[in-house]
Structure 1
């Protein structure tokens, strides 16, 4: 086994590091967080680096599918700000991967080149007030009337709907009793008549604001049915296919980015803060905290990278992606809280980034399938091979 990242990924990390220091200074990040603001100008500059094309085939302007490199981008951006890393996921993953996997040729030609240039973002319209982990129970309904699809219903915790170009919406297109055999995906512009978006004030993940979305007789052309007319009632395989596995990895990568930022700040503070005539980093109790954080983050990264490698090879990886998501997000929460502990009172005030790390990290074990859901997935996969 070769654990070297290679020159391409090393160069990618270096380029992202320069970009972050220049375009995403801590002062700007604090402002984005306070305003719940998406810095679209910074996002467009990020697209100029070519990283949006890491999930896009070359014939549509991308550089070819590289899930590992995509996770590296998410991780590095998340070390500084989710206001940029989450929209990156909305473009490269939500839009790029889903259309590349499930779209018609016409949809690919229309959408994929716009992702590469930073001009296309999708929000996920999956969760509903009464459908969280059990997405087969969604009630948002779509009916076909000639060449028009009419949608009625509501989505909850639809992050980024206000900045997206389309809401990638899971809808019921047949009798409720059939569950998995009567679901489809429809692309709904947030600006369409009958769409209402309401912000939900949440603790963290600012920039791609969490929203409620309602659809009241919203009409879109049949061309907006993902996969074309042949995909009517074929949405479930699209949902549980490779895209769902990669979504777990996306959240894991965010978590690792937050954890690394927390460790960096805790380490720097431990070398600067003095008590009882000594730097607090000289006390063994602080050293052990930092050592544990370092070890847990290292293990989480290896778990993520292995699962990303499997996903990129299109090999079965449902269990590995669940393990990565479970472990990395729990590590992120622990690291953020440990950073806050080391900083003491300073870790609790908004002048220090540690306070934001905690708010963001607490969300990671919830989104993309909760830790309980991942444990259930891991158990079921293990039972299947025993």
Structure 2
């Protein structure tokens, strides 16, 4: 292990990624992707060629086997430079790779997991609806069986990456709403299927893959598109809360960690280069204290994120720890980035510097994947605090 406690294969992976980022994701190009809301498909394809989208795919399907810590490391590194690339990687390795590995049918795994490993096939989550956020079991989008098909009607909101994904991984209601948790199913819906309409949302940050409102008007998909096959009908809730939500929390923490690291690195370098009153501003005590604070907070965030990932890798109970990591890292990373912007002064506010993008991207992190308020509720409940 190195001084940061990383195993040798993780050290090599981090070094490989940093070389890849400098070559394939230079700052000027990343700025263009952000300003023009471009998804760099060619960069995503190169990540797949390196085998990085196979870190959640079993070897029998062409991957390198499930390694959550390595996956989190890749997310951190990519997001330290570009959310356009980092979010797409999550849609492939996590949304597609992890869910298919854990809860899909044998036929679905055989058909799709090799494509995740070799092509970087992506899923977009279709969970949130116009009137449904944290209470996912109350989704209203319906899927009614007609023979060997499901007819889907309804709407989803904040469906990130829908236009660049092969499938929308949608939570739908396949039975009476009165039995809230027992009549839900997860269904793969192609975004280009007849009856699917994508309406882009103009968000402050997270440019590249895009975020969409999605409507389903008598959309027909085969019953075989139900996750788990026909036996998966009505089993959506158990499949959703199994591998997906706990790991999603540390995925989002890793995203925030990456953004924070980019901001800390830029502020650290800027403070040594920016000269005022004949000296670099890093010699000013107030600036030194801010730099010391963000470095310290970042280290705490790093330790919490990778501790949670290690617990998941070890198949230890980790629901509370992943919720704690999501809460602490996302809230703290926001504070880190805003402090780094303050260190850079007016230069941290203009689009010519990456700091302005870090600020826009970090502000959503305490909301994604379950808000900070929801995480506090989860932690109190998981630790059995009396109501």
CA distance in 1, matches of 2:379, 2:261: 26
Distance 2:37 2:214 in 1: 18
Within 1, Cα distance between the matches of 2:386 and 2:314?
21
| Structure 2 counterpart of 1:325 | 326
Distance 2:359 2:118 in 1: 33
- The C-alpha deviation readout for 1:245-297, integer Å capped at 9, x for no partner, is 00000000000000000000000110011111111000111111011101111
Offset at residue 45 of structure 1 (A): 0.8
* 1:202-234 CA-partner distances (Å, limit 9, x unpaired): 000111201000000000011101001111111
What is the alpha-carbon distance in structure 2 between the residues aligned to residue 385 and residue 74 of structure 1? 36
> Which residue is equivalent to 1:336?
337
The secondary structure found in structure 2 opposite 1:88 is: helix
Q: Which portions of structure 1, spanning 4 or more consecutive aligned residues, are displaced by more than 3 angstroms?
A: none
Distance 2:313 2:385 in 1: 23
Task: Report if the CA contact (8 A) 2:53-2:120 is conserved.
Answer: no
**Is it true that 1:240 corresponds to 2:236 in the alignment?**
no
Question: Which residue in the other structure is 2:127 paired with?
Answer: 126
CA contact under 8 A between 1:242 and 1:311: conserved in structure 2?
A: no
Is the 8 Å Cα contact of residues 84 and 209 (structure 2) preserved in structure 1? Answer: yes
CA contact (8 A) 1:153 1:214 kept: yes
SS in 2 for 1:157: strand
Where 1:208 maps in the other structure, the secondary structure is coil
Report what 2:55 is aligned to.
54
8 A contact 1:91–1:118 mirrored in 2: no
The 1-side partners of 2:183 and 2:347 are apart by 53
Structure 1 Cα separation of the partners of residues 281 and 340 of structure 2:
13
Deviation of 1:242 after TM superposition, in Å, equals: 2.0
Q: Give the CA deviation at 1:373.
A: 0.5
- Structure 2: how far apart are the matches of 1:198 and 1:276? 52
> Aligned-pair distance for 1:385?
9.3
Alignment correspondent of 1:10? 11
* C-alpha separation in 2, matches of 1:117 and 1:37: 23
Aligned equivalent of 1:153: 154
| Structure 2 contact 93–120 (Cα < 8 Å) conserved | no
Name the counterpart of 1:291.
292
Match of 2:337, SS?
Answer: helix
Q: Higher mean Cα deviation, 213-222 or 239-248?
A: 239-248
Q: CA RMSD in A?
A: 1.4
The CA deviation at 1:119 is: 4.1
Q: TM-score, normalised by structure 1?
A: 0.98
CA distance in 2, matches of 1:239, 1:385: 26
Q: Which residue of 1 aligns with 2:179?
A: 178
Corresponding residue for residue 202 of structure 1: 203
Aligned to 1:96: 97
Q: Within 5 A, what are the aligned runs for 1:217-256?
A: 217-256=218-257
Q: Does 1:27 align with 2:28?
A: yes
Aligned partners of 1:55 and 1:93 also within 8 Å: yes
Gaps of 5+ in 1: none
CA distance in 2, matches of 1:118, 1:259: 29
TM-score (normalizing by structure 2): 0.98
Shift in Å, 1:4: 2.5
Number of residue pairs matched by the alignment: 386
Deviates more, 1:303-312 or 1:123-132: 303-312
Deviation per CA, 1:63-93: give whole Å up to 9, x if none.
Answer: 0000000000000000000000000000000
Contact 1:52 1:116 in 2 (8 A): yes
